[in-house]
């Protein structure tokens, strides 16, 4: 009888401890910590995450500075086929070197992937079809070179392509990012 009563205060104290896991860049989790892992108490959610780590999918992002060439947009104005061919070639080569830089020493070859194209715009944004047509040379560059990230951009390999846009306050922040993320095969 006496023994169980003396245990009560200790249990109360443990219940009040907050989970120290980092929830976001600003906040700690702060849920009640109830499970002990390697000397630290965590909440149920973070205990689960610590015991079942999920590997981040592999991905590569390139950032094309500024706006996409006028000649490659949907409304091409007074541009010729040769203007477009030249711009396409330039952009694909630029993107190839951006990929080269972004991957560093990593061997990145994805059998299946998703692609996200994001326009950081200021002034006037391209609509989705305009962005799709103007950015296709950036995507094509992921198939270039002796060690391409993807072998082909057909639906067998690129399962999803998505587009997004974010307004930025200054013209010099305009850019287009392309992220290719691996879809891991089911084991």
Stretch that binds Zn ion, among 23-31, 79-87, 110-118, 168-176 (CB under 5 A): 23-31
Phi, psi for 120 (deg, rounded to 5)? -100, 100
Shortest approach of Zn ion to residue 16 CB, angstroms? 14
Shortest approach of Zn ion to residue 34 CB, angstroms? 10
Q: Is 114 helix (H, G, I), strand (E, B) or coil?
A: strand
Count of C-beta atoms within a 10 Å radius of residue 67: 19
Binding to Zn ion by CB under 5 A, coded x per residue (else -) over 30-49, reads -x-----------x--x---
Closer to Zn ion at the Cβ: 27 or 82? 27
Residues 95, 64: contact at Cβ < 8 Å? yes
Binding to Zn ion by CB under 5 A, coded x per residue (else -) over 46-75, reads x-----------------------------
Closer to Zn ion at the Cβ: 43 or 131? 43
DSSP result, 25-91: SS-B--SBP-EEETTEEE-HHHHHHHHS--PPPPEEEEEEES---GGGSSS--S--HHHHHHHHHHH
Task: List the one residue from 5, 6, 8, 21 that touches Zn ion (CB under 5 A).
Answer: 21
Shortest approach of Zn ion to residue 57 CB, angstroms? 23
Closer to Zn ion at the Cβ: 49 or 74? 49
Closer to Zn ion at the Cβ: 40 or 59? 40
Shortest approach of Zn ion to residue 181 CB, angstroms? 27
Closest CA to 89 of 152, 156, 144, 137: 137
Shortest approach of Zn ion to residue 37 CB, angstroms? 11
Closer to Zn ion at the Cβ: 32 or 61? 32
Interface residue list for Zn ion (CB under 5 A): 19, 21, 29, 31, 43, 46
């Amino acid at each position: 009888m006496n023994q169980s009563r003396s245990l009560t205060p200790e249990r109360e104290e443990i219940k009040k401890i907050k989970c120290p896991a980092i929830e976001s860049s600003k906040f700690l989790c702060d849920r009640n910590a109830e499970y002990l892992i390697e000397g630290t108490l965590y909440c149920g959610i973070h205990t689960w995450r610590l015991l079942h780590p999920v590997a981040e999918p592999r991905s590569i992002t390139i950032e094309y500075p500024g706006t996409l060439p006028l000649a490659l947009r949907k409304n091409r104005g007074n541009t010729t086929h040769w203007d477009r061919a030249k711009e396409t070639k330039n952009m694909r080569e630029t993107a190839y070197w951006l990929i080269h830089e972004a991957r560093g020493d990593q061997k990145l070859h994805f059998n299946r992937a998703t692609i996200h194209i994001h326009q950081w715009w200021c002034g006037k944004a391209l609509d989705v079809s305009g962005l799709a047509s103007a950015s296709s040379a950036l995507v094509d560059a992921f198939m270039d070179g002796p060690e391409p990230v993807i072998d082909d951009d057909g639906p067998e390999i690129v399962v999803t392509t998505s587009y997004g846009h974010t307004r930025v306050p200054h013209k010099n922040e305009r850019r287009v990012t392309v992220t290719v993320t691996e879809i891991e095969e089911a084991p």
